[in-house]
Structure 1
Amino acid sequence: MLLPILLILASCAFLFLGAELLVRGGSSLALKLGLTPLVVGLTVVAYGTSTPELLVSLKAAFAGNPDIAIGNVVGSNIFNIAVILGLSALVLPIKTNLQVLKWDAPLVVLATLLVPLTFLDGVVSSFEGACLVLAALLYTWWAIRLARRDERLGHEAHVDVPEIRRRPSVVLDLLKIVAGLAVLAFSSRILVENAVVVAKIAGLSDTVIGLTIIAAGTSMPELATSMVAALRGQSDIALGNVLGSSLFNLFFVLGGAAVVAPVSTSGLQIFDLVALAVITTLMLPFLFTGRSLNRVEGGILFLSYLIYLGVMWPK
């Protein structure tokens, strides 16, 4: 039992390392190819930090563990909003801007309420998965178009683009990307395999493991990014990272896994979906009141995760 747990912890650390390599190499290469920092932030960085969720869910779908795939998506989104956003606000109150209030946050809530409709028949089919992937691509296209419009209008935009040195060559950037993907692929396999072992030994379902251990593990890049941003006072990075990752999980991660193999949702409890909807919806009025997410509201979000674990785990 101890060895699988240690391997799970080690794989979570390597997921963070792999995502870091992928984001930095991809960002540097994209800037060298002429993409603007804003577009890089909306594409390479946003998708890069969510790559662990994607690879773990794809691995689970390939391995015939659909409960882990669906649990990872639902659990990661609950973790993103309740824990990452909550802790970030506890570190420093997060200010919001009109763009977030008008589009991004409501879209996350809307997707959270509508995507579970694909669960009603007990499975997310390959066709439904393809529709979700298409939604992810359309959202990416729309976000990039909106960002370029704002740049033309001279609006200030804050995005999460790592410090990039100009000296490294394109070859080094490519090596970072390849190494990052290799580390992510290897660590995601180790994480899924050992999570299944722990689940069987402890008598826990694959869904519970996906909702908790794997969800938290694959969210480490987002947690690190948002916490560092909060410590630096970069509110919109912390908030944008959580919102973008949540949409990516619902559309691309779940959709991609379903395209590989239809994802059964039978392991999910109604309580899990209600918790996801309530926690995500709770975020919206918090962001609107005072145009910020203060420490008290962040504490409530974090407390909601502890309540969720307290109710869900015994079941």
Structure 2
Amino acid sequence: MMVWISFLIAAILVVYAAIKLNVYGEQISQQTTMSGAMVGGLLIAGATSLPELTTSVTAVYVDNVDIAVGNMLGSNVFNLLILAGVDLYYRKRQAFNLQDSRQHIPSILFGIALTTTVIIAMLIDDSLTIFNIGIEMFILVLLYIISVKLFESEEPDEEILQNDKRLSLNKVIRFFVISAFTVLVAGSVLSITGDIIAEQTGINSSFVGSVLIAASTSLPELVAVIAAYRLANYAIAAGSILGSNLFNLLLLAFTDAFYQKGAILQGVSFSLVTMGVLSLVMMLIMLYVLMRENKPSMIRYTWPTIIIVILYFIVSYLTF
């Protein structure tokens, strides 16, 4: 019982601190000259992805690679579920038709490329390593750097550049660091208690990592997307999710650097390949949503997001 209570408290702290990271990250962006896509895709995405990093690195130290990798892949899947679910709730707005979808297509395409790389690496029996890091991780880093260059080439979004200086930049940065440290500690507890829960209950570690922990560490993204939809800032909503997914895949490389037994993707269960394929399929559906014709009927608008929601619960059940 104490393990479950500790897991719940850690999850609450992770969510609270990560929400604060999101708030302070946005205030930092408001006092600088960053584009809307860059705010959502880099700064906010990086802030809300810190729980995944601390959780996965801790999972490596307790020698549970299924939780380490499953947390990242599961978070990406849950993030897409969040975007689909919130858009389905606000379906009458047809939000994807009210923004310039072209700015998100590079994020989707790079997400597809990175996820495909991860899936192939998990299927290969013997991966080439450099300093005990899988060669695929260097590919992930290279692809991410290229995607960042695309974000940097965009013009600042004037709607985002509202100077809200209720707190000085120094104070905001200090609170941002405190929140990040809270995420570091709580995320570590989340991973350790998740590993104990898997051992004590016999629940598949892949399920614990890719569903339970992933959902917990992705709740800040849910709050961020709902807030963005309520403000009708759909570009930030989509950008934060797609950018967070790219960032999570980059963090796999950092996680592998802490794993001393070789390429980390070589030690995971096959069920995580299924989770990776689910993420890939979800992104392909989202790519279709972004590229389809404007103003479709309500049924044509909602069926892709309905498919995403159904697929998530089917695969989660199979993983369990």
TM-score with structure 2 length normalisation? Answer: 0.82
| 3-state SS, counterpart of residue 203 of structure 2 | coil
Preserved contact between residue 130 and residue 259 of structure 1 (Cα < 8 Å): no
Long gaps (5+) in structure 1: none
Between Structure 1 and Structure 2, how many residues are aligned?
300
Preserved contact between residue 108 and residue 246 of structure 1 (Cα < 8 Å): yes
| Map 1:133-144 → 2, pairs under 5 A | 133-144=141-152
Matched residues, percent identical?
Answer: 23
Structure-2 residue corresponding to 1:294: 301
Preserved contact between residue 72 and residue 214 of structure 1 (Cα < 8 Å): yes
**2-side partners of 1:54 and 1:291: how far apart?**
37
Please state how far the C-alpha of 1:40 moved relative to its aligned partner: 4.2
| Map 1:237-276 → 2, pairs under 5 A | 237-250=236-249, 252-261=250-259, 262-263=263-264, 264-269=266-271, 270-276=273-279
Deviations 1:257-285 (A, max 9, x none): 01221414431324333323222222222
Preserved contact between residue 88 and residue 94 of structure 1 (Cα < 8 Å): no
**2-side partners of 1:35 and 1:247: how far apart?**
22
The residue type equivalent to 1:257 in the other structure is T
Structure-2 residue corresponding to 1:73: 72
The residue type equivalent to 1:113 in the other structure is T
Preserved contact between residue 5 and residue 194 of structure 1 (Cα < 8 Å): yes
| Map 1:83-232 → 2, pairs under 5 A | 83-92=81-90, 93-95=94-96, 96-100=99-103, 102-122=105-125, 125=129, 126-128=133-135, 129-144=137-152, 146-147=153-154, 150-151=155-156, 165-232=164-231
Please state how far the C-alpha of 1:180 moved relative to its aligned partner: 0.8
Please state how far the C-alpha of 1:37 moved relative to its aligned partner: 5.7
Please state how far the C-alpha of 1:49 moved relative to its aligned partner: 1.2
Preserved contact between residue 54 and residue 253 of structure 1 (Cα < 8 Å): yes
**2-side partners of 1:266 and 1:122: how far apart?**
11
Deviations 1:58-117 (A, max 9, x none): 222233221111111111111111x20221111223315242464232332232223322
Long gaps (5+) in structure 2: none
Task: Say if 1:138 and 1:107 are closer, same or farther in 2 by CA, change over 3 A.
Answer: closer
| 3-state SS, counterpart of residue 292 of structure 2 | helix
TM-score with structure 1 length normalisation? Answer: 0.84
| 3-state SS, counterpart of residue 293 of structure 2 | helix
The residue type equivalent to 2:167 in the other structure is P
**1-side partners of 2:308 and 2:184: how far apart?**
32
Task: Say if 1:27 and 1:204 are closer, same or farther in 2 by CA, change over 3 A.
Answer: same
| 3-state SS, counterpart of residue 16 of structure 1 | helix
Please state how far the C-alpha of 1:120 moved relative to its aligned partner: 3.0
The residue type equivalent to 2:258 in the other structure is V
| Map 1:1-12 → 2, pairs under 5 A | 2-12=1-11
The residue type equivalent to 1:120 in the other structure is L
**2-side partners of 1:40 and 1:100: how far apart?**
13
**1-side partners of 2:34 and 2:277: how far apart?**
39
| 3-state SS, counterpart of residue 168 of structure 1 | coil
The residue type equivalent to 1:310 in the other structure is Y
Deviations 1:100-137 (A, max 9, x none): 46423233223222332222335775143344234323
| Greater mean deviation of Cα atoms: 188-197 or 292-301 | 292-301
* Root-mean-square deviation over aligned CA pairs: 2.7
Please state how far the C-alpha of 1:309 moved relative to its aligned partner: 1.9
Structure-1 residue corresponding to 2:287: 284
**2-side partners of 1:42 and 1:272: how far apart?**
23
